[in-house]
Amino acid sequence: MENRELLTLNSGDLAMPYEWSVGLYGSRFFQEIREKRRFLGIRCPKCQKVLVPPRRICGPCFQKLDELVELSDQGTIKAFSVVNYPFIDPATGKQRPIPYTYGYINLDGSDNIFSHLINEIDESKIKVGMKVKAVFKDPADMEGNIQDIRYFEIVSK
Ligand SMILES: [Zn+2]
C-alpha cells in the first residue's frame, strides 16, 4: 500500500432546506396554473415569438419581455423519452418510479418547447406530432409549482 494516512470518515444525513425564487414571471406562471389552470407565455416585441414559461429576456434577441399571453393547455409532442433509469427526483427527493415518459411539448400558441411528463409509458403508443392536454392536480392540492401539472395525456393520434 502506498504511504497514505487513513482518513477519518463521518457518515449521517444532512438537511439542506432552501428556497429558490422563480422570479416575477415565474411566479405569475405558477399562480395562473394554480388559480386558473391556464398557461401563460410571453411575446418578444422583436421576433414575435411566444416563450413558455415566461422569462425576462428573449435569448436570441436580448429584448426585454413584458407582454404576457394566455396559452392553450394543449400542445404537440415534438420529442419524448421513455426513461428506464432510476434516479432521485429533485422535486420530491424520492426515487421516481420507472419507467416514465418525459415529453418535449410545443404548447399551442407558443414557439418553444415545454418539458413535462406524459402519462404513457408504452413507446409504441407515442408518436411525435400527437396532441396532448395538461392534466392538473385537484384545486385543493395545488401548491404553485411545476407539480401542479400532473402530466400531459395524449388526446389524439
Ligand atoms: Zn425575440
Number of domains in the chain: 1
Q: What is the pTM of this model?
A: 0.84
Contact 133, 114 (CB under 8 A): no
Residue 71 Cα to ligand 1 middle (Å):
18
Q: In which domain, by residue range, is 29 found?
A: 23-156
Q: Are β-strands 100-107 and 67-71 bridged in parallel, bridged antiparallel, or unpaired? A: unpaired
Residue 56 Cα to ligand 1 middle (Å):
11
Q: Is 73 among the domain residues?
A: yes
Q: Is 102 among the domain residues?
A: yes
Q: Is 16 among the domain residues?
A: no
**Among all chains, which residue has been given the C-alpha cell 404553485?**
144
Q: What is the pLDDT of residues 70-121, one digit of tens each?
A: 999 999 999 999 999 988 887 778 888 899 999 999 999 999 999 999 999 9
Q: Is 30 among the domain residues?
A: yes
Residue 44 Cα to ligand 1 middle (Å):
5
Q: Is 86 among the domain residues?
A: yes
Residue 60 Cα to ligand 1 middle (Å):
6
Q: Is 15 among the domain residues?
A: no
Q: What is the pLDDT of residues 4-17, one digit of tens each?
A: 787 888 888 888 88
Contact 33, 148 (CB under 8 A): yes
